[in-house]
Amino acid sequence: METKTRNNHIGRKISRIRELRGMKQETLAEQLGISQQAISNIENSEKVEDVKLEEIASILGVTKEGIENFSEEAVFNIINNTFKDNSSNNNNYLCTINPIEKIIELYERLVQAEKDKVAYLEKLLDKK
């Protein structure tokens, strides 16, 4: 059996989490108060300073440890385990996701994102 080495490239993990969140580099850069090029450099870095990693994690809605322990394989396992095969003969799949809960969860995240944007813009206006 082949042994996989653990991927500890923090920048790639940040990039992937950002993409899964549907966030562009420009948006993350704006919220951190840095340039898009700086985000690109961070995402190409194997290591990121703890303070910066905490800031990025907060904006992405995860913990620092969540970024450090992020695994693409774990994400796929979660997705795959969401569906259960009821029959080996006829490919019937039972979705265990409650669509109403997911809609509410998405709505709450969108509302929070809008609140965060408003707070950020108000902060920018206060500086002027």
Whether residue 63 is found in the same domain as residue 123: no
Whether residue 92 is found in the same domain as residue 102: no
Domain that holds residue 114: 97-128
Across the chain, what does the average pLDDT equal? 81
Whether residue 39 is found in the same domain as residue 21: yes
Give the residue among 51, 55, 43, 41 at the shortest CA–CA distance from 10: 43
What is the structure's pLDDT at 79?
Answer: 60
Tens of pLDDT, residues 14-54: 998 898 888 999 999 999 999 999 999 999 999 999 999 99
Q: Across residues 55-83, what is the average pLDDT?
A: 79
- Are 90 and 96 contacting, i.e. CB atoms less than 8 angstroms apart? no
Please give the Cα distance from 119 to 82 (Å, whole number). 35
Whether residue 106 is found in the same domain as residue 122: yes
Q: Is the pTM of this model over 0.85?
A: no
- Count how many domains the chain has: 2
Task: Classify residue 33: in a domain, yes or no.
Answer: yes
